[in-house]
Amino acid sequence: MRLKDKIALIIGAGQAPGASKAIGNGRATALLFAREGAKIFCVDRNLDSAQETAELVIQDGGDATAIAADVTDEDAIATAVQSCTEKWARIDILHNNVGISVEGGDAPLADVTTKAFDRIMDVNLLGTMLTCKHVLPVMRAQQGGAIVNISSASSYWTSHPTVLYPASKMAMVSFTRQLAIQNADCGVRANAILPGLMDTPMAVDRRVEALGRTREDIAAERDARVPLLGKMGTGWDVAHAALFLASDDANFITGIEMPVDGGSLARVG
């Protein structure tokens, strides 16, 4: 019960649709945090998906509430934060788990459009900035809290097939470092997780439609690129890393980027 009685606001607690049984990072984190004693406030653009996560938490014996909010809509984010504090009076953990890539128009530089640039930066970077903007006053007032931002190992990869996703996720790394320094005086910690190649609906299933290839083909190609046992990680791997950073076990850790990537960053350079 490492998160006993803590309140966790999870942005992107729903899950991208997909034919597989893979679990997304946000849903896995919500379930794991609840099993460790936290009350979960599930936020997602898709209310049905957020509600499904909340119901899974409740069926598992936890306490959860769902609300719809688009991370690019500041009024909606402000309302979600207010709703969480009205229900549970505080926010101990903010977990930012929203991101898009090829489904948002990401592409090699020659094919990038300004529309895709705006969309991906708004979702991947602006969304995280807005949630932090509205949660930090709560955490600073209560003199403590943990922010966990889901970036990407692609931030550091020396080669990536597209340009916007890794750029937005590297910007999140820099933003997280600033959060850590600027709020350390109030006991608020901020850290980033860098997932590598993961077997999640967002990472694999969405590419089936976007790239016009089979899931099996995409998964096999991604597995082959992972040093550790030649197998992608799962949403549970990200969730366990997030649990550590959100818990008091990481009480003296702030401003870091934690790779969860099966060793892919070990061979960068």
> Which of 18-27, 112-121, 185-194 shows the lowest per-residue confidence on average (mean pLDDT)?
18-27
pLDDT at 19: 65
Q: Are 230 and 194 in contact (CB under 8 A)?
A: no
Burial of 252 (0-12, 13-18, 19+ CB in 10 A): exposed
Does residue 142 sit within a domain? yes
Residue 208: alpha-carbon gap to chain centroid: 21
**Whole-number Cα distances in Å, 176 to 173, 194, 226:** 5, 12, 26
Mean pLDDT across 53-72: 98
pLDDT in tens, 224-264: 999 999 999 999 999 999 999 999 999 999 999 999 999 99
Q: How many domains does the chain have?
A: 1
Q: For residue 245, what are the β-bridge partners?
A: none
In a domain, 2, yes or no: no
Query: Is residue 181 over pLDDT 70?
Result: yes
Whether 207 shows a pLDDT value over 90: the answer reads no
Q: What is the DSSP letter of 193?
A: E
pLDDT digits (tens, 9 = 90+) for 19-51: 678 999 999 999 999 999 999 999 999 999 999
Share of the chain above pLDDT 90, in %: 88
Domain that holds residue 34: 7-260
Q: Is the pLDDT of residue 6 over 70?
A: yes
Query: How far apart, in whole angstroms, are the C-alpha atoms of residue 234 and residue 65?
Result: 24
| Mean pLDDT of the residues in the chain | 95
**Which residue has tokens 């490492």?**
2
Residue 75 reports pLDDT greater than 90: yes
φ, ψ of residue 68 in degrees (nearest 5): -95, 135
165 lies in some domain: yes
**Residue 19 domain flag:** yes
Using the CB atoms, write b or e for 193-223: b if 16+ within 10 Å: bbbbbbbbbbbbbbbbeeeeeebeebbeebe
Q: Could you give the residue numbers annotated as active site?
A: 165
pLDDT of 190-206, one tens digit each? Answer: 999 999 999 998 888 87
CA distance 191 to 182: 13
CATH of the domain at 67: 3.40.50.720
Q: Are 151 and 107 in contact (CB under 8 A)?
A: no
Report whether pLDDT(210) > 80.
no
The mean pLDDT of 52-78, rounded to a whole number, is 98
Whether 1 maps to a domain, the answer reads no
The torsion angles phi and psi of 257, rounded to 5 degrees, stand at -115, 120
Is position 268 within any domain?
A: no
Q: Give all strands (DSSP E) within the chain, no chain letters.
A: 7-11, 39-44, 63-68, 93-96, 145-150, 188-195, 257-260
Mean pLDDT of 93-97: 98
Instruction: Give the Cα separation of 50 and 159 in Å (integer).
Output: 34
In a domain, 40, yes or no: yes
DSSP 8-class letter at 251: T
In a domain, 266, yes or no: no
Res 191: pLDDT: 98
Mean pLDDT of 176-188: 98
Rounded Cα distance between 167 and 31, Å, is 30
> Which pLDDT band holds residue 268 (cuts at 50, 70, 90)?
confident
